[in-house]
């Protein structure tokens, strides 16, 4: 079976293999808590067997809704934030043509995103762009009450109804939310929108393989069945409490590095299409691990671009970091560097080589330099940027995240810390029900 591989050879140095092996009993305990539902946050482990549970009926329903949107819309705006945004964005960016936004003849509708910020100019410019478009909306919010997507949806719903009429607009809006609770569920029922459910037991950052991620990905024209099949392969490959289990190996290695003082993990890619995969990964690990004043800080860089900005710090700054590189074996296309008679740029020594051969040497040269500079380096190799391998990678990281949280001794499935800013924001905006908080916060400013 062709699948992703984890190589920890160059992560050793600060720690030895024996320190990783010593964590095996804790890894086994973490896996058993996940598999038996006996660990902290066990109400939120529905993602664990999700790939094998997704039935063909749901996949068919998702494909048919995607086809309806594709047939009727030239642009579909996916509205959501955090876990209701990053998974779809990561997969679509990894699979899309890098210049998709500028290719007007592309068959699939453009999938744009909103509700992931509170940018007034962003929303103004989006509304201007949509003014002459046949657009549709996928509104995604598990709670149905998150401020950012609620503002974007209020604006775009009003615009769509103005442009299309209320009845036609209702056919172009799909809501993905809780089965029963929340304002979005109520609105969807009242307006007769097509809906999909986010299960109670799947938290936002683990929801990419639910309709939250799958519908926008299908609308963009990608094979969600292959994505789920890849995840199913990884579900099977990550069951055993040993270091042949790639998620266990990754979780144990990063935890051993953390215990040895490496407090920041940098996820590195050498393919610009993976930028948003890094963003998805940061949310997954940041929200899962960063609590009780513990947790590896998840950072990400895009190389070789960032070798010209962050490269100095990584090579030479404080030695509290380690790197995890996602290395993609093969490219989709072939570009050969041409020879040049004048050779003024001195590049003839690489004439005839594929661009990716140069990229791979940048990756190898950087790894050797960083390891020499005291930065442990793990490598996760995937055969290609295809749906199947992205599905494997997603599940691999999710499973490793669950194990990592238990190795750290935290509940990996809650996010109590994100409520604090919301309470302050609501108090400052004088939201009804926050009167006392408003008074208290105003006294502090």
Least distance from ligand PA5 to the Cβ atom of residue 143, Å? 3
Burial of 374 (0-12, 13-18, 19+ CB in 10 A): middle
Among 10, 33, 110, 205, the residue binding ligand PA5 under the rule CB under 6 A is 205
CB atoms < 10 A from the CB of 95, how many? 20
Residues that contact ligand PA5, how many (by CB under 6 A): 14
Contact by Cβ (8 Å): 189, 166: no
Least distance from ligand PA5 to the Cβ atom of residue 72, Å? 25
Q: What is the dihedral of CA 377, 383, 384, 390, to 10 degrees?
A: -80
391 near ligand PA5, rule: CB under 6 A: no
Among 83, 230, 295, 376, the residue binding ligand PA5 under the rule CB under 6 A is 83
Question: Residue 142 or 157: which CB sits closer to ligand PA5?
Answer: 142
Among 82, 295, 376, 391, the residue binding ligand PA5 under the rule CB under 6 A is 82
Span interacting with ligand PA5, options 17-25, 82-90, 310-318, 389-397, rule CB under 6 A: 82-90
Least distance from ligand PA5 to the Cβ atom of residue 118, Å? 13
45 near ligand PA5, rule: CB under 6 A: no
Q: Find the farthest-apart pair of alpha carbons in the chain and give their distance in angstroms, rounded.
A: 76
Question: Residue 142 or 254: which CB sits closer to ligand PA5?
Answer: 142
Q: Where are the beta strands (DSSP E) in 8-74?
A: none
Question: Residue 15 or 175: which CB sits closer to ligand PA5?
Answer: 175
142 near ligand PA5, rule: CB under 6 A: yes
Span interacting with ligand PA5, options 37-45, 121-129, 201-209, 317-325, rule CB under 6 A: 201-209
147 near ligand PA5, rule: CB under 6 A: no
Mode of pairing for the β-strands spanning 264-269 and 173-177:
unpaired
146 near ligand PA5, rule: CB under 6 A: yes
Span interacting with ligand PA5, options 11-19, 164-172, 203-211, 309-317, rule CB under 6 A: 203-211
Interface residues for ligand PA5 in 285-314 (CB under 6 A)?
287
**Six-digit token pair at 45?**
């482990």
Least distance from ligand PA5 to the Cβ atom of residue 86, Å? 8
324 near ligand PA5, rule: CB under 6 A: no
Helix 275-289 × helix 387-408 angle, to 10°: 20
Among 81, 300, 301, 328, the residue binding ligand PA5 under the rule CB under 6 A is 81
203 near ligand PA5, rule: CB under 6 A: yes
Among 41, 46, 204, 211, the residue binding ligand PA5 under the rule CB under 6 A is 204
Contact by Cβ (8 Å): 247, 380: no
Residue nearest to ligand PA5 as judged by C-beta position: 204
116 near ligand PA5, rule: CB under 6 A: no
Cβ-Cβ contacts under 8 Å for 214 (sequence gap 6 or more): 59, 62, 208, 224, 227, 228
Q: d(Cα 322, Cα 305) in Å, to the nearest integer?
A: 19
**Six-digit token pair at 18?**
């024996």
Catalytically active residues are 287, 308, 422
Q: d(Cα 403, Cα 174) in Å, to the nearest integer?
A: 34
Q: d(Cα 140, Cα 76) in Å, to the nearest integer?
A: 13
412 near ligand PA5, rule: CB under 6 A: no
Cβ-Cβ contacts under 8 Å for 219 (sequence gap 6 or more): 66, 69, 70, 76, 78, 108, 109, 111, 138
Span interacting with ligand PA5, options 30-38, 141-149, 343-351, 431-439, rule CB under 6 A: 141-149
110 vs 64, 223, 286, 308, CA distance in Å?
18, 16, 30, 32
87 near ligand PA5, rule: CB under 6 A: no
* 267 strand-pairing partners: 300, 324
Give SS3 for 201. Answer: coil
185 near ligand PA5, rule: CB under 6 A: no
Q: d(Cα 111, Cα 95) in Å, to the nearest integer?
A: 13
Least distance from ligand PA5 to the Cβ atom of residue 423, Å? 14
Instruction: Using CB under 6 A, list all residues that contact ligand PA5.
Output: 81-84, 141-143, 146, 149, 203-205, 287, 415
């Amino acid at each position: 079976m062709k699948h992703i591989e984890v190589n920890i050879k160059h992560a050793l140095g600060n720690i030895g293999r024996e320190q990783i092996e010593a964590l095996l009993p804790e890894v086994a305990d973490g896996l058993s808590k996940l598999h038996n539902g006996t660990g902290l946050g066990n109400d939120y482990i529905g993602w664990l067997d999700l790939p094998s549970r997704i039935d063909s009926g749901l996949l068919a329903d998702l494909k048919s809704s995607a086809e309806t949107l594709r047939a009727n819309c030239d642009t579909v705006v996916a509205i959501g934030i955090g876990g209701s945004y990053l998974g779809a964005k990561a997969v679509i960016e990894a699979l899309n043509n890098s210049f998709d936004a500028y290719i007007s003849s592309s068959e699939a509708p453009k999938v744009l995103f909103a509700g992931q910020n509170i940018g007034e100019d962003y929303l103004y410019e989006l509304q201007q762009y949509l003014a002459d478009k046949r657009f549709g909306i996928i509104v995604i919010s598990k709670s149905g009450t998150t401020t950012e997507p609620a503002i974007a949806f209020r604006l775009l719903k009003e615009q769509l109804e103005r442009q299309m009429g209320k009845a036609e607009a209702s056919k172009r809006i799909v809501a993905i939310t809780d089965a029963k609770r929340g304002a979005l569920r109520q609105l969807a029922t009242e307006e007769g929108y097509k809906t999909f459910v986010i299960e109670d037991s799947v938290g936002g950052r683990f929801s990419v393989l639910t309709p939250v991620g799958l519908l926008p990905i299908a609308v963009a024209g990608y094979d969600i069945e292959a994505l789920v099949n890849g995840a199913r392969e990884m579900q099977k490959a990550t069951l055993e409490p040993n270091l042949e289990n790639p998620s266990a190996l990754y979780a144990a290695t990063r935890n051993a590095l953390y215990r040895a003082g490496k407090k920041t993990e940098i996820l590195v890619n050498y393919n610009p299409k993976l930028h948003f995969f890094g963003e998805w990964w940061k949310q997954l690990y940041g929200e899962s691990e960063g609590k009780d004043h513990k947790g590896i800080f998840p950072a990400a860089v895009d190389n070789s671009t960032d070798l010209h900005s962050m490269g100095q710090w990584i090579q030479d700054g404080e030695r509290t970091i380690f790197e995890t590189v996602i290395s993609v074996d093969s490219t989709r296309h072939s570009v050969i560097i041409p020879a040049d008679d004048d050779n003024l740029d001195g590049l003839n020594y690489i004439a005839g080589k594929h661009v990716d051969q140069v990229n791979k040497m940048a990756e190898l040269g950087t790894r050797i330099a960083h390891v020499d500079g005291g930065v442990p380096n793990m490598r996760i190799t995937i055969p290609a940027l295809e749906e199947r391998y992205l599905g494997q990678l997603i599940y691999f990281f999710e499973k490793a995240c669950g194990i990592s949280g238990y190795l750290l001794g935290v509940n990996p499935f809650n996010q109590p810390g994100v409520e604090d800013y919301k309470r302050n924001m609501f108090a400052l905006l004088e939201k009804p029900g926050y009167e006392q908080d408003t008074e208290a916060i105003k006294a502090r400013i």
